[in-house]
Structure 1
Amino acid sequence: MDESAVIQVERLTRSYGGRRGYDAVRGIDFAVRRGELFALLGTNGAGKTSTLEVLEGLTQPTSGTVRVFGQDPYRDRRTVRPRVGIMLQDRGFAADLTVAETTRMWTGTLSTPRPVGEILELVELTARANVRVRQLSGGERQRLGLGLAIAGRPELLFLDEPTAGLDPENRQNAWQLISRLLESGTTVLLTTHYLAEAAELADRLAILHRGRIVALGTPAEIAGIRPARISFRLPGGAALPGLPQAVATVNESGKVAVDTEDLQSTLTLLLSWATRHELRLEELTARPASLEEAFLTIAESDQGAVA
């Protein structure tokens, strides 16, 4: 076990319902390094929530070992919890309290909290300080939840769908805040359904599928499960060139899709061919493999792709 890791998980299992139940988590291993953002992604029913509950000290694993700051997050909760911030999807705010009252009540439970005004400024809720929680929009409640999660200046921050319900501008603002927290040394474990968010923010990520980790690495490494793609409309009467190590398909309207493991070389060959034959490739696009495509490939498979 790597004692220098902030989170260390070895052979973690989480089962429900006894012998006739089911295994939500089936022997997973991963570590989260100090100061990085690690994204935990999962297909529906993959075991993501069960894993989070163990890491946050809310329940014990069925088997395996979990350490947070080198300690058991469940048995040593009293020493681990003050160093951790948690943002949950279901926050259970008191509807009749104002934003400022909610924040003040929460900071009263912390040993070294940020000032209430600073918290509200960080999540851009200063102008809503005296508004009752029941009057907040869904996105504003989400921002309040993020503010409370960082109120105690946590060394480790669990963010469960932190930007769900936010508009694009507020999502970008949340990303900037998370990036500033990382720069200050905070370690972040993020769960999200926004794959662009994981690709933008994560240093490394794991994809859970049917209780197992089926992909683990940087966003670029995971995206590499899928080939890059070039697409264009084939001019009438033209025949496709030979493209080594590429797979080309043509639909009924003449639109061509070329999948390749070497985007630069294949695109160079294609453009050289078009130039030689004085052809113009309409609707030409070229893009590397994406995290979303890799995720969908895993989600649609029975076993997933091990990385």
Structure 2
Amino acid sequence: MNALEITGLSKTYSNGKTALNNVNLTVPQGSFFALLGPNGAGKSTLINMLADTVRPTSGKVNLFGKNLFLDRAWCKKRIGVVPQEIAFDPFFTPREVLRFTSGLFGCKPDEAWFDELFERLELKEHCNKNTRQLSGGMRRRLLVAQALVHRPELVILDEPTAGVDVELRRRLWSFMRELNEKGITILLTTHYLDEAEELCDHVAIIDQGNLLTARPMREMMREIASSHLCLNYGRAIELTDDDLAALASFEPRATEDGVCMKLGRLEGDRSTFHVAYEAAVSRFGPPVDAGVRSEDLEDVFLRLTAKEKAS
């Protein structure tokens, strides 16, 4: 069974703006799934639909086999959402926040679970303070605890580490990995693409309301990501029309200190390297040094979203 099956999901607002355009997406149960896109891509609209705070113009969402928009009470008990916005009553303590949230989900407060959440999210020393006394990073971690209070089967993390320092961010991800290893499905949006590449086993990229790709992370990096031969000449290389034509198969681009040549997919063989190297040397001479750079998730993301904007 899949955690989420999204079919033909669209949202057009009253001002005529289309935020989502016929999105079809499957999130496997037990996956750590990255939903990526630039600002304004439609990610928040999609998440707000999953949280049932925005209604779609058309389309369907199944959550663990149930219709999200028809079986609302059943579905809400199985989703925990960490929103971008931080909003708490300033006079409640974190412990009181979790008690009230438990009631909203029809759960009896589980103080032992609260204590574990406070321990793992490093809020133990602050759990009886008023929330107005907490720092921004503490409040964001409290949002995570609040989303987990009813032990949901799907956790949606919308920019959860914004404003959280590096060490705490790493410990938070360690906790999220443990939850995922126990079978909890995690859907993550983040602008830290290195985190997404390290943590997630599936990825979807959305831009201007359109789904550009959705597949297992390793498969995408194997099939879309490329490697590049970077030649350092210690100076900028100005590529002429003749250079571009002669090296067209390598899609050359000038850099601050030389030129880069596309070799192809990450598993490209050594012969491609030598052909590209000799082709560059024949036109620009021997470089000071040369090396191969493999694209990471950020490179792929920028390339795919650039194509979307150009189309």
TM-score strictly above 0.5: yes
Instruction: Give how far 1:268 is off.
Output: 6.1
CA pair 270-176 structure 1, distance change in 2 beyond 3 A: farther
Larger CA deviation: 174-183 vs 92-101? 92-101
Alignment of 1:143-222 (within 5 A): 143-222=141-220
- Tell me the alpha carbon deviations over residues 167-199 of structure 1, each in whole angstroms, 9 at most, x when there is no partner: 111111111111101100001111111111211
Change in Cα spacing, 1:35 to 1:24, as seen in structure 2 (3 Å) is: same
How far the C-alpha of 1:90 sits from its partner, in A, is 1.5
- Paired residue secondary structure (1:115): helix
Contact 1:207/1:214 (8 A) holds in 2: yes
2:227 is matched with 228
| Identity %, equivalent residues | 32
Q: Does the alignment pair 1:75 with 2:54?
A: no
Aligned to 1:289: 295
What are the superposed Cα offsets for residues 214-255 of structure 1, whole Å, 9 maximum, x if unpaired? Answer: 12223344445342123342489xxxxx999645556575x3
8 Å contact kept, 1:222–1:291: no
What is the number of equivalent residue pairs in this alignment?
A: 290
What pairs up with 1:275-286 in 2 under 5 angstroms? 284-286=290-292
Matched, 1:265 2:270: yes
Deviation at 1:124, TM superposition (A): 1.3
1:113-124 correspondence to structure 2 within 5 Å: 113=110, 115-124=113-122
Q: For residues 285 and 139 of structure 1, do their structure 2 counterparts lie closer, same or farther at Cα, with a shift above 3 Å needed? A: farther
Deviates more, 1:181-190 or 1:263-272: 263-272
Task: Structure 1: state its 5+ residue gaps.
Answer: 237-241, 274-279
* Partner in structure 2 of residue 276 of structure 1: none
What is the TM-score of this pair, normalised by structure 1?
Answer: 0.82
Question: 2:20 aligned to 22, 25, 28, which one?
Answer: 25
- Which has more helix, going by share of residues? 2
Q: Is the 8 Å Cα contact of residues 214 and 304 (structure 1) preserved in structure 2?
A: no
Distance in 2 (alpha carbons) for counterparts of 1:291 and 1:152: 33
Counterpart Cα distance in 2 of 1:10 and 1:233: 48
| CA RMSD in angstroms, aligned pairs only | 3.0
Task: Quote how far apart the aligned CAs of 1:130 are.
Answer: 2.8
Q: Give how far 1:200 is off.
A: 1.2
- Is 1:10 aligned with 2:7? yes
Q: Which amino acid aligns with 1:134?
A: R
The answer for unaligned runs of 5 or more in structure 2 is 236-245, 279-285
8 Å contact kept, 1:47–1:211? yes
Matched with 1:239 is none
Q: Distance in 1 between matches of 2:53 and 2:152?
A: 18
TM-score (norm 2): 0.81
Deviation at 1:38, TM superposition (A): 1.5
Q: 1:60, 1:249 → 2: CA distance?
A: 45
Contact 1:222–1:294 (Cα < 8 Å) also in 2: no
Give yes or no for contact 2:33–2:203 (8 Å, CA) kept in 1. Answer: yes
- Partner Cα distance (1:264, 1:25) in 2: 40
Give the match's secondary structure for 1:120: helix
Cα distance, 1:131–1:225 mapped onto 2, change above 3 Å = same
Question: Quick one: structure 1 residues 108 and 251, their matched pair in 2 at CA, closer, same or farther if it must change by over 3 Å?
Answer: closer
Change (3 A) 1:235 1:304: closer
Distance of aligned partners of 1:134 and 1:146 in 2 relative to their CA distance in 1, 3 Å threshold: same
Q: Say which of 125, 128, 139 aligns to 1:130.
A: 128
CA distance in 2, matches of 1:251, 1:72: 51
1:9 maps to a residue whose letter is: I
- How far apart are residue 304 of structure 1 and its match? 7.0
